[in-house]
Copies of this chain bind each other. A is one copy, B any other.
Amino acid sequence: MAQIQSYSNLDQGQFDKLVSQDFPFIISDCNFGSCLQKWNAEYLSSKLNGSSVKVHVSEEPVLNFLTKNFRYETQNFGEFLQKCAHPDGDQQYLYLRSIGVDKRGRDVADIQKHFPQIADDLVMPPFANFCTDIDCEEEGTTKCTKRHLFSSVFRISSKELVVWTHYDMVDNILLQVKGEKRVTLFPPSDAPFLYIRGDKSEIADLDQENIEAEYPLFSQATRLDCHLGEGDAIFIPALWFHTTKALQFSIGVNFFWKDRQLAAFYNRTDVYGNKDLIPAADAYSNVDKALKHLSKLPPKYRQFYLHMIIARLNKELTE
């Protein structure tokens, strides 16, 4: 498989062409605005100290969503930043993934709306051609061909923090504003080798020795690692499995956008951009029913029919 390429001075046409190839790429030395010079723990504290944020807190650097080795805490933004950037001896690992403010979790993360105090520091990358009309009525039609932002997400984390391997239903670019980050990606076709439960991998720590002892299929996966410095951005296509490791105290921002072609299929209650497309959720539900039927049978017959169904689906894959 190809490696992840890095580009600079991308224009809109080049970006569109690269995005259409459905393969991750880095855009180096972008101009995201004054945030690149301004943002650090002290500056953001001074601007956002009044607000509170819900953050992940763990005693371990590798967060595991499936075993839940972390808890959620609501903290003062300033105190969170201080602990995150300047850990004391009693090490805790902290991670903010900003979310909407609706208590029932029905709105999406939006930096402009939720953090207006620092919104002007951040400039949307021009190559990504986002529509500036946040209420654009022609979204999803062919009249407005710009990208429409689904969400913009703050990502702030302690040094060493690793976010679980997962996939999203929507494309995004991750801008690295402060600190350095390692991004590890796997193509969608690696689904069979990554022990996926829901949208997350059971393999929490990709740096553990001898992963194959516990996860034998992992040796068949195609791991792509890359490195983001300050001012770099990476395109992470929908369905690509990915995980990040903060090599330093890290501030980043994601911009997510939906694919017009899939407008009818997105789950409307999805604020994270990771819920399965409606026809896929329906398909899963039918597979659940199929398994329930097979569970009535003795193991020999159950296994036989599992083989038969897998063979059928494999045939569909090659057609």
Chain A residues at the B interface, C-beta cutoff of 8 Å: 22, 188-189, 191-192, 196, 239, 261-262, 265, 276-277, 279-280, 282-284, 286-287, 289-291, 293-294, 296-298, 300-301, 303-314, 316-317
Q: How far is the CB of A193 from chain B (nearest CB, A)?
A: 8
Residues A283 and B279 in contact in the complex (CB < 8 Å), given A189-B307, A239-B300: no
Pick the residue among B265, B293, B313 that contacts A306 (CB under 8 A). B313
Are A283 and B293 neighbours in the complex by a CB distance under 8 Å? yes
Are A287 and B309 neighbours in the complex by a CB distance under 8 Å? yes
- Provide the residues of chain B in CB contact with A297, threshold 8 Å: 262, 265, 277, 279-280
Ranked 9 nearest A-B pairs via Cβ: A286-B290, A283-B290, A191-B307, A283-B293, A279-B293, A282-B293, A192-B311, A286-B289, A286-B286
Are A293 and B280 neighbours in the complex by a CB distance under 8 Å? yes
Residue in chain B with minimal CB distance to A259:
B298
Are B304 and A314 neighbours in the complex by a CB distance under 8 Å? no
In whole angstroms, how far apart are the Cα atoms of A287 and B192 in the complex?
19
In whole angstroms, how far apart are the Cα atoms of A124 and B303 in the complex?
32
Query: Copies per complex?
Result: 2
Q: A188-B304, A196-B311, A262-B298 are in contact. List 7 more A-B contacts (CB 8 A).
A: A192-B314, A277-B305, A280-B293, A286-B290, A286-B293, A287-B290, A309-B313
Residues A304 and B239 in contact in the complex (CB < 8 Å), given A279-B293, A296-B279, A314-B310: yes
Pick the residue among B262, B296, B300, B310 that contacts A310 (CB under 8 A). B310
Residues A294 and B306 in contact in the complex (CB < 8 Å), given A289-B286, A313-B313: no
In whole angstroms, how far apart are the Cα atoms of A43 and B150 in the complex?
83
Are A294 and B317 neighbours in the complex by a CB distance under 8 Å? no
Q: How far is the CB of A130 from chain B (nearest CB, A)?
A: 23
- Provide the residues of chain B in CB contact with A309, threshold 8 Å: 283-284, 287, 313
Are B280 and A294 neighbours in the complex by a CB distance under 8 Å? yes
A-B contact pairs, 23 of them (CB 8 A): A22-B300, A188-B300, A188-B303, A188-B307, A191-B308, A192-B311, A196-B311, A239-B301, A265-B296, A276-B305, A277-B301, A279-B296, A279-B297, A280-B294, A280-B297, A283-B291, A286-B286, A287-B287, A287-B309, A287-B312, A291-B316, A307-B317, A310-B314
- Provide the residues of chain B in CB contact with A283, threshold 8 Å: 289-291, 293-294, 305, 309
Q: How far is the CB of A14 from chain B (nearest CB, A)?
A: 21
In whole angstroms, how far apart are the Cα atoms of A296 and B303 in the complex?
29
In whole angstroms, how far apart are the Cα atoms of A296 and B311 in the complex?
21
- Provide the residues of chain B in CB contact with A192, threshold 8 Å: 307, 310-311, 314
Are B298 and A261 neighbours in the complex by a CB distance under 8 Å? yes
Residue in chain B with minimal CB distance to A240:
B304
Q: How far is the CB of A159 from chain B (nearest CB, A)?
A: 34
Pick the residue among B189, B261, B310 that contacts A313 (CB under 8 A). B310
In whole angstroms, how far apart are the Cα atoms of A129 and B303 in the complex?
29
